[in-house]
Structure formats: C-alpha cells, structure tokens
Structure 1
Amino acid sequence: MNSYAVFLRGINVAGINIKMADLREALKALPFSAVTTLLASGNVVLASELPAAAVKSEFESCLRDAFGFDAWVVVLTAARVAELVEACPYPADDAATHSYVTLSSDAAALAELYDAGAALDGVELTRLGAEAVAWLAPAGGTLDSPFSKLSAKARYKASTTTRNLRTLVKVRDAAARLA
C-alpha cells in the first residue's frame, strides 16, 4: 500500500466551493483508503495500491463527475513530500516573509515557470526537484509578488498548485501517519 498526498488546484477560491466532507464521501467509491482532508484548501492524504499516475487520473475524474469541476491535481508520495519539506531552504515561520512551494505534475511546465521566475528582479527561488520550486514572498504581499502573478497565468493552471510551507509540513505529518 502506498501513501500519497494529493494537492487540488483552485478549490474554495473564486467561487469553486467543495466541502471536504463531500469530497471524502465522493472518494469512497475509488480504490483509496484512509482518506483524510486537511484544511479547506484542497489537501488530501490517502493510501492506495495504485501508482501515482492512476491516483491522479481517478481523483480528477471523481472531481469532474461528482462536482462538475474541471479539476487538476498534483499527486506525490508521502516520502516525496517529506523530502521536499526537508529540502526547502526557507523558514516555515518568519515575520517578514512567507515560504511557498509550487508543485507540478508537468516537469517541463515547472522548468519553464522556474526559468521565467528566475529572470524576474527581486525573486528568490530554489528548485527542489522536477516537481517543486520553493520561493519567498513578503508577508502580506503574496498575491502581489512577481512570482505569484507569474505562476497564476492560465498556461500553468492544469499542472501547478502552490502551498505555503506550513501547509506542506501539516500534509507531511498527516501522510506519515498512514505509513
């Protein structure tokens, strides 16, 4: 049995609302067990015999069928989430900045995003792997930060999602309990 973290993009923002209890109920019909939702921003940990690509496909189909939501998710093993948290060079808690990790299901799209972000003035980025980029934003100015605006472009919608590092720590800890 594999432990996974599933990160949904774009729920409970911009008028797309899915209650976590409803999501858990919809997922019961799938070959997943120990499904746990975390926070209301689309973070799920679960166990499955399926490989990650099949978890992604099943999960996205479920969201479309159950909620009419054109959904995209990033699926990572619990072990990989733990590695990314440990690899992030930025602090989880800091009064002046917030640490974020942009996750992607498409290595080429993330590479493009990273290269474009690295070319911006005043942006601090660290590539954590083929599926993740860590970055800093000023406290209170995340949505106005240059990298946040760049990553919000439509071209990245189907393959990326961003979480603050504190959220990834919570997901890591919940996923570790499944193992």
Structure 2
Amino acid sequence: MTSYIALLRGVNVGGITVKSADLKALFESLGFSGVRTVLASGNVAFDDGDPDDEGPAAASVALKARIERALGERFGYEAWIVLLTREELERVVAAFPFDPEREGWHPYVLFGSDAAHLAELQEASSDLDAADDVVQAGDGVLYWHNRRERGVDSAFSKLTAKARFKPTTTNRNLRTLVKLLA
C-alpha cells in the first residue's frame, strides 16, 4: 500500500469548480482508499494498494495519467496534477529553508512538471527584492517566502502567474501541505 498526495492545478479558480465531496467520490470510484480532501483548492490524500510490476516510477507516471484522465472526464477540463508519495511530500516539507512562522510572511512551495520552467523561475528570482520575496531551489520544487503585505502584487507572484508557467506549476502554502500530512 502506497500513500499519495495529489495536488490539482487550477481548480476552484477561473471557472473550474470542483467540490470536495465530488473530488473524494471520484478518487474512491477509482478504487483508492483512505481518501481525504484538504481545503477547497484541490488537495487529495489517498492510498493505493495496487502494486505495479514495473516499479514505483512507472507506477507513479501511470497513476498520474489515470487520475488526470478521470478528472478531465468527470469535471470537463484539461486536468494536470502533481502526484507525490507521502514520503516525498514529507521530505519537501521538512526541507523548507525559511522560518515558516515568520510574522507577516507566507511560506509557499512551488511544484512544477517542467524542470526548465522551475530553473527559469529560480534564475529570475535573483533579481527580486528580498524585502518582499525570497526564493530557494529545492529537490524538484522552489521554496518561496512572500511578504504578506505584497502578496499577489509581489514581483515573484506576478512572474509565476504568467501564461507560460500556468500549465506546468502549482503553488501551495506550507501550512496546507502540513495539513495534508496530518
């Protein structure tokens, strides 16, 4: 049995509405157990007891494609998810390099399916005002600390919102990720 976390990209924004109860029901219909949604922003924790003879990497790719196809068919949008094992997410959360309790700051993790896009965002972050945004590369992610007063108006937030990055990245608050692991 493997425990997974699925982070859906672009739901409950831009006209794509997915209710948590419907999302949970879909994952259960796919044969997963222990399905739990966290918040209304497309976060699902679940267990899959179906071992894959081709190994964990192949299983993860096939599972991701299966979930994306089911989401697209059920909710009528081009679905894209980040799929991590619970252990992978635990490592991402444990490696957060900034003080997550820093007053007035948001602790974020930016996930991506395109390493080149993450590298481009990392490179662009060197020009940021550290009083508003601080970015550091992690293992397949970018860690981002954002001053709450600037929020979506910060330079890095505007950069990540550009159309070319939207199909390959999704962002989560560290506190949401901790709730997914609880």
Same fold per TM (> 0.5)?
yes
State how far apart, in whole Å, the 2-side matches of 1:61 and 1:140 are. Answer: 38
Structure 1 residue 124 and structure 2 residue 140: aligned?
no
Q: CA-to-partner distance for each residue in 1:125-177, whole Å, 9 max, x for gaps? A: 11111x2111111114221111111111121222210011111111122xxxx
Corresponding residue SS for 1:158: coil
The correspondence for 1:52, drawn from 57, 60, 63, is 60
Bigger Rg, which one = 2
How many residue pairs match? The answer is: 172
Q: Which residues of structure 1 form unaligned runs of 5+?
A: 174-179
State how far apart, in whole Å, the 2-side matches of 1:33 and 1:118 are. Answer: 43
Letter in 1 for 2:125: G
**What is the CA distance between 1:76 and its match in structure 2?**
0.9
Pairing of 1:1-179 with structure 2 (within 5 A): 1-48=1-48, 49=50, 51-122=59-130, 123-129=133-139, 131-173=140-182
Corresponding residue SS for 1:60: helix
Corresponding residue SS for 1:155: coil
State how far apart, in whole Å, the 1-side matches of 2:70 and 2:116 are. Answer: 26
User: Does the C-alpha gap of structure 1 residues 112 and 31 become closer, same or farther in structure 2, counting only changes over 3 Å?
Assistant: farther
**What is the CA distance between 1:31 and its match in structure 2?**
4.0
Q: Which residues of structure 2 form unaligned runs of 5+?
A: 53-58
**What is the CA distance between 1:37 and its match in structure 2?**
0.6
**What is the CA distance between 1:124 and its match in structure 2?**
1.3
Task: Report percent identity of matched pairs.
Answer: 44
**What is the CA distance between 1:19 and its match in structure 2?**
0.3
State how far apart, in whole Å, the 2-side matches of 1:31 and 1:57 are. Answer: 15
Letter in 2 for 1:22: D
State how far apart, in whole Å, the 2-side matches of 1:161 and 1:137 are. Answer: 15
The answer as to whether partners of 1:32 and 1:46 remain within 8 angstroms in 2 is yes
The answer as to whether partners of 1:101 and 1:164 remain within 8 angstroms in 2 is yes
The answer as to whether partners of 2:128 and 2:134 remain within 8 angstroms in 1 is no
The answer as to whether partners of 2:6 and 2:82 remain within 8 angstroms in 1 is yes
State how far apart, in whole Å, the 2-side matches of 1:2 and 1:151 are. Answer: 31
Partner of 1:177: none
Moved more, 120-129 or 131-140: 120-129
Letter in 1 for 2:82: V
Letter in 1 for 2:92: L
Q: Greater relative contact order: 1 or 2 (C-alpha under 8 angstroms, separation 6 or more)?
A: 1
**What is the CA distance between 1:82 and its match in structure 2?**
0.7
**What is the CA distance between 1:71 and its match in structure 2?**
1.5
